[in-house]
Amino acid sequence: MSNEKFRYVKLWVTVGIVIVFWTIGAGFYHDSSATSDETYKGLKLFSDVIELIEKNYVEPVETKKLIDDAIQGMVHGLDPHSALLSPEDYKELQMDTQGEFTGIGISITMRNGLITVVSAIEGTPAYKAGVKPGDVIISIGGKSVKDLKEAVSRIRGPKGTKISLTLMREGAAAPLTFDLIRDTIPIESVKAQLLEPGYGYVWITNFRESTTQDLVTALDKLESKTPLKGLVLDLRNNPGGLLNQAIDVCDLFIEKGTILSIKGRYDKNSKVFTAHPNVNKRKYPIVVLINGGSASASEIVAGALQDHKRALIMGTTSFGKGSVQNVEPLRDGYALKLTIARYYTPSGRSIQAKGIEPDIVIKSEPVMPKEKSGTEAVVKMPKEKDLENHLAAEPNKGKKKSKSGSSIQEDIPEALESESINGPLSPDTLQSDNQVKRALETLISYDIFKHLNK
């Protein structure tokens, strides 16, 4: 081993010893010594493996890549949501939470080993060209692609540049090729409209820096037209996002009490979030729509409104991601996304690997046109409980193994799948959405019943 590598390992060992002693304390010297010895042996083995690979592998390899891959493997072994973020990944995460990117406007996932379109964002180049949910991506720019991360990287690019996608579509006799021009893709996290006089509809697609303010603006606009008798809050296929935005959205509809509690190993990662009285008190009834693509921050909102009896939850059971990740910047532009706590609804429920169960179960009826085969395609996507190394609902209960993996979506920071190939519906298609229609009927019925026998 070179002197440089030996100093590198020695430094790692020294840091490891310092951390162990600082954490455990001198009163446990024997245990600390054993742990330090184990750390040293592990780092020595790690160094030996790198040296053997460098000297004997069939092709030249970069030491930096070996180390990056080793760290990534270590972090991924913890749970599906912890990850080492490369400088490029970290920049994309920051960009995604701020509101726009340049690309063609699709979200993709891995299904049965194939890169599959989950949805095309309304108004984007992909949407206008006719890319549909369920399309399988064969090649990008004339080159085959099998890795999700690579696919996202190749789809994104400078505004105004060209990209071609070759797709396979169920019922099509031959592959379809789309020549698209990349554009700035605004990520609108809130869309709203009146379903009919007095009944509003708000669709939150994800939780970003401006979500709460955008929601307030949307509600003010709806309420200015006519006093609202009820609201449909659509969180279907909402993969989550920023925790503070989920808390603030809940606070718009809850006047007091706990919104959320998070509990980690240490007090610094544990906290209780409470509601505050609102100047504008929105007391109208709410129906929240969820499905298997509703995860993380969207489950926080659904769980809080459900526990406070503030909303009726309708749809199908949510994804079940009940953990909180913190992103810690590292040197050289890297960052570590690490799971630091589980979160609990106001009543103390952990939804980790369980999900939020709706008060009324209403399954979605496909609204996609039938293909030549004459069949409707509905695909069950994995949930949190299906992901490899997912956390148990409570601490000290072990992790569960699964052969399923997670996915990457082009337009959102948290990679989750929806429960069918139908993506979130745009407001223009609400009239054919059976879950929205049922939610509206419920709100109208409630308004009728509360006025009976008066």
Q: How far is CA 141 from CA 137, 155, 161, in A?
A: 11, 9, 12
The helix (H) or strand (E) run that includes residue 33 is helix 29-56
Q: Do the Cβ atoms of 301 and 345 come closer than 8 Å?
A: no
- Catalytic residue check, 426: no
Nearest one of 291, 288, 353 to 316, comparing CA atoms? 291
CA 258, chain centre distance (Å):
24
Is 321 part of the annotated catalytic residue set? yes
The answer to whether 375 and 369 are in contact (CB under 8 A) is no
Distance CA 155, CA 29 (A): 54
Question: What does the CA dihedral 202, 206, 207, 211 come to, rounded to 10 degrees?
Answer: -40
Catalytic site residue from 82, 251, 321, 418: 321
Please write down the HEC assignment for all residues of 184-214: EEECCCEEEEEEECCEEEEEECCECCCHHHH
Tell me the pairing of strands 83-85 and 100-103. Answer: unpaired
Distance CA 247, CA 139 (A): 41
Active-site position among 89, 183, 251, 307: 307
| Residues facing 271 on adjacent strands | 262
3-class DSSP state for residue 261?
strand
Q: Which positions ≥6 away from 116 have C-beta within 8 Å?
A: 108, 109, 110, 134, 135, 136, 137, 421
How far apart CA 311 and CA 451 sit, in angstroms, is: 19
Q: Provide the H-helix boundaries in 57-124.
A: 63-76, 87-98
Q: How far apart are CA 59 and CA 78, in angstroms?
A: 30
Give me the residues paired with residue 185 across strands: 101
Candidates 119, 296, 323, 350; catalytic one: 296
* 411 a catalytic residue: no
Structure tokens at 404: 């399923």
Alpha helices in 252-377 (DSSP H): 297-307
Beta bridge partners, 202, equal 192, 233
| Chain Cα centroid distance, residue 344 | 18
Catalytic residues: 296, 307, 321
